[in-house]
Structures are given as structure tokens and as C-alpha cells.
Amino acid sequence: VPVGSIGDAGIVISDNSSNIDIEGISFSRINGDAVSVVQSANIDIRNGEIYCVGRSGVSIQASVDCDVENMRIYDIASSGVDINNRVWSISTGYTARLEHENNRVVDCDISDVGAVNVMAAGINLYGCGNTAKNNIIHDINHQAVYIIGPEHTFENNDGYGACVYDQDSGMIYVA
């Protein structure tokens, strides 16, 4: 099922939503994030395609137990999949939660991201206890994967053609 839009957002899931499956959908021509998940749990996005997006393909923020699985994500202005569970505080700045969030990016093909935000990665894993597994991440200006926080799992991924226009980076960048 193709979903095309010239608007600012694709699908936004927020405010403690849970147990939602998005399957077999194609997103394109969206100015914002194709799928934005905020403060939710058990959201699964799988077996689809996301391309020609003005921000991130999938953005998961302050959420737990969400899966991005078997997706083709390409021609993205910012990051392919952005899992960002950092918490902002005026006194401490950004801090990572130290509870496992268990968000996963599995069996995805991610390429050609960072067309506008040249510092964007194919996959961002911020927070604690998230997983990137069995993905192909390729043809990216900056790093394939950017990891911040403890106890993430990164296994059996294949990456090539990253860091094309960058000198201070690597296929996997851990901060």
C-alpha cells in the first residue's frame, strides 16, 4: 500500500500508544519523518519501503520495545533510523536512560541517507540496550552506525561505502 504525501509528516504515533503494527506500507515524498514514534511501546514497522523523505525514515524517541524490521530505507535527508532515547534537562543537558529500551532495527537495507544533514548516520542508537542486527547499510556520506550509551547490541550487519565525504568518522562511531 503506497502512502505518498507532500506534507510535513507521515505517521506520528505518540502519547503512550502501544501494540501497533505497521506492515507492508511504502512511504515517500514526505517533508518530515516518514514514521515518528514518541513515548510509546510495542510499535512494529515492517516489510515496507521508505524513500524520498525530508528528515528521518523512522524516528523512535522516548519509546520501548519498538521494532523496525525488513524495511528498505533510502534517499533520506537525515538518518535512516533514529532511535533517540536521551532525556533533556536544563541542569544536565542530554543524558541517557539506563534502563534497557529494547528497540530493534533488524534485516533492513539502508542507503543514501544524509542528503541534507551530512552528519546523519544510517542507524542512530542512543540510549540503553537497543539492537541493530542483520542490516545492510551502504552508500552513506557519514558513518553507517552512530552509537551513544551503554549495552547496545550491534551484530551481523554488513556495511560498505560509508564515510565518503568525511574525515573524522568510521563505519561504526561510538561516543
pLDDT digits (tens, 9 = 90+) for 4-19: 454 566 787 877 899 9
CA atoms within 13 A on the CB side of 39: 4
Closest CA to 121 of 71, 64, 83: 83
User: What are the Cα distances from residue 103, in Å, to 2, 133, 141?
Assistant: 25, 11, 25
Flag whether pLDDT at 101 surpasses 90: yes
Q: What is the pLDDT of residue 138?
A: 95
Q: What is the pLDDT of residue 1?
A: 42
Look up residue 174 and give its DSSP letter.
Answer: E
What mean pLDDT do residues 153-174 have? 84
Tell me the pLDDT of the chain averaged across its residues. Answer: 87
Q: Which range, of 47-56, 81-90, 92-101, 151-160, averages the lowest pLDDT?
A: 92-101
Q: Strands (DSSP E) along the chain, which ranges?
A: 2-4, 11-13, 18-23, 26-30, 35-38, 41-53, 58-61, 67-76, 81-84, 86-89, 93-96, 104-106, 109-113, 123-126, 131-133, 136-138, 145-148, 153-155, 158-160, 172-174
Flag whether pLDDT at 151 surpasses 60: yes
What mean pLDDT do residues 105-128 have? 92
